[in-house]
């Protein structure tokens, strides 16, 4: 009997279409392979392994081959390194200068290798267009600055990536833009917080590093009641586990450095829009700020996407096992992982996610000292920032990433002194559990 993974790999391989006529690189539109069967049935686990939800409507689509074809096509994607291209006429140059997707003009306007990645990302999130950027913050900043103007009001979740929080608390106030932070766990909080001058509702779900879940439908409803744009950071979940556009979100943001790239070897970002109009506005701001993604970096992210569903399967399953282990340790006060029955928003996670992901956090009873000692005591896991790679990474937010925030900002964000964030990798689950067991004992001494 053919294994599910082998069957999936064969489906992904597909068949090569004939290249278009003419020398050099030809363009063609490859078929989209529907991985809904892979996501909803091939990877369905027995009842005793609740790493996945029962939701089966997800359609995960991946282009198995690049649109960029060499004359003699190979199995990997070509990389177009040109920063500029010859033009047929001055008129063509004028037309391309105002085009959001010229076929060949200047790499800050677009690059064939980068555009191939953008097409794939739009497919994965179910959006109209995607824009790849040189970092996750390049995508986040471009999208936020597009959505607000002087004197506007923003509503955002209280638990966010640190640099995103600093945009709302330290950059936007320079332009008279006020942000109201809401606890996404409180029902009705979004509706209560929007005002007539609210122009942006910003969510991050699951949130970094507390794993708080935002009810996307509730946030969208609140935003639409006042005509505000909605943006959702989907980095933690990835499009395998969640597609915010399906719930009405206008723009989806990613640090592609994380799960999309998946190997801790590239820095990149992306924004995917539900409609072309928002994309055009973000592209204008992006063009001014200049956070362009290079073709080699685009190639690395595109390569990482080929194994995204497979990585997420293993990492999510290991995260579930690790979370269950941590929950039984007396030195651990609480574990934040959507796949646990004890997680306060477990039902919401099952409702809007296809799987619970590979991120978790937990709080040690020993507070600040125990948190620091734990992350310094691990052996198999690595003490490092970032997430989403093949290796397990741990960090202590209170002393590291969230150190720049004030005590009040950390309290509002839910960052306790003993909180430890974990990005679960591809290591053996039993090895990781043994490593964490030893580190917890060391931190408790």
> Is 233 annotated as catalytic?
yes
SS3 253: strand
Q: Which residue has the tokens 């190639």?
A: 299
Q: Which of 63, 258, 317, 421 is catalytic?
A: 258
CA 359 – CA 397 distance, rounded (Å): 14
As a whole number of angstroms, the distance between CA 109 and CA 99 comes to: 8
Question: Tokens for 27?
Answer: 């363009």
Which run of H or E residues covers position 186? none
Pick the closest to residue 138 from 268, 297, 273 (CA basis): 268
Residue 238: count other Cβ atoms within 10 Å of its Cβ. 28
From the list 161, 259, 286, 337, the catalytic residue is 161
Q: Report the distance separating Cα 177 and Cα 107, nearest Å.
A: 32
d(CA 216, CA 244): 7
Which residue pairs, CB below 8 angstroms and at least 24 apart, start in 69-74?
Answer: 69/19, 69/20, 69/25, 69/26, 69/27, 69/28, 70/19, 70/25, 71/19, 71/23, 71/24, 71/26, 73/16, 73/19
Report the greatest alpha carbon distance in the chain. Answer: 74
What DSSP letter does each residue of 310-366 carry, written as one string? HHHHHHHHHHHHHHHHHHT-TTEEEEE-TTSTTSTTHHHHHHH-SB--SEEEEEETT
CB 62 within 8 A of CB 125: no
3-class DSSP state of 20: coil
Alpha-carbon distance of 381 to 368, in angstroms, equals 20
Token pair recorded at residue 144: 């936020």
* E strand map for 198-310: 198-204, 229-233, 251-255, 269-273
Annotate 360-379 with b (16+ C-beta within 10 A) or e (fewer).
Answer: bbbbbebeeebbbbbbebbe
Catalytic one among 45, 61, 108, 329? 108
Task: Respond yes or no: is residue 161 known to be catalytic.
Answer: yes
Catalytic residue among 233, 337, 373, 410: 233
Catalytic residues: 108, 161, 233, 258
């Amino acid at each position: 009997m053919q294994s599910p993974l082998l069957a999936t790999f064969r489906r992904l391989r597909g068949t090569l279409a004939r290249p278009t006529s003419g020398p050099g690189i030809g363009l063609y539109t490859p078929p989209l392979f529907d991985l809904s069967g892979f996501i909803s049935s091939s990877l369905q686990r027995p009842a005793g392994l609740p790493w996945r939800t029962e939701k089966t409507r997800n359609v995960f689509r991946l282009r198995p081959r690049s649109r960029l074809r060499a004359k003699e096509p190979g199995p990997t994607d070509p990389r177009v390194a040109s920063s500029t291209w010859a033009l047929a006429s001055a008129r063509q140059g004028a037309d391309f200068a105002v085009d959001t997707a010229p076929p060949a003009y200047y790499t800050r306007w677009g690059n064939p290798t980068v555009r191939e990645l953008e097409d794939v990302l739009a497919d994965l999130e179910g959006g109209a267009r995607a824009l790849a950027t040189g970092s996750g913050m390049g995508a986040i900043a471009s999208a936020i600055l597009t959505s607000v103007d002087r004197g506007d009001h923003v509503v955002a979740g209280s638990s966010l990536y640190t640099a995103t929080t600093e945009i709302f608390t330290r950059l936007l106030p320079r332009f008279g833009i006020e942000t109201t932070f809401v606890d996404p766990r409180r029902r009705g909080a979004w509706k209560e917080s929007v005002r007539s001058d609210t122009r942006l509702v910003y969510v991050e779900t699951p949130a970094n590093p507390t794993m708080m879940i935002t009810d996307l439908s509730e946030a969208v409803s609140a935003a639409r009641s006042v005509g505000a744009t909605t943006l959702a950071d989907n980095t933690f979940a990835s499009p395998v586990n969640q597609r915010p556009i399906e719930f009405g979100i206008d723009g989806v943001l990613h640090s592609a450095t994380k799960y999309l790239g998946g190997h801790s070897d590239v820095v990149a970002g992306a924004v995917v829009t539900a409609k072309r109009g928002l994309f055009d506005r973000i592209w204008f701001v992006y063009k001014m700020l200049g956070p362009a993604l290079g073709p080699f970096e685009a190639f690395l992210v595109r390569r990482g996407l080929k194994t995204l569903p497979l990585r997420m399967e293993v990492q999510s399953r290991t995260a579930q096992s690790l979370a269950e282990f941590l929950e039984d340790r007396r030195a651990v006060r609480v574990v934040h992982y959507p796949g646990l029955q004890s997680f306060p928003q477990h039902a919401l996670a099952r409702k809007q996610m296809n799987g619970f992901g590979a991120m978790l956090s937990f709080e040690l009873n020993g507070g600040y000292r125990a948190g620091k000692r734990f992350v310094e005591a691990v052996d198999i896991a690595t003490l490092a920032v970032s997430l989403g790679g093949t290796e397990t990474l741990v960090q202590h937010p209170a002393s590291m990433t969230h150190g720049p925030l004030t005590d009040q900002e950390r309290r509002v964000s839910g960052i306790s002194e003993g909180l430890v964030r974990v990005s679960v990798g591809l290591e053996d689950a039993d090895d990781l559990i043994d490593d964490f067991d030893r580190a917890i004992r060391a931190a408790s001494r």
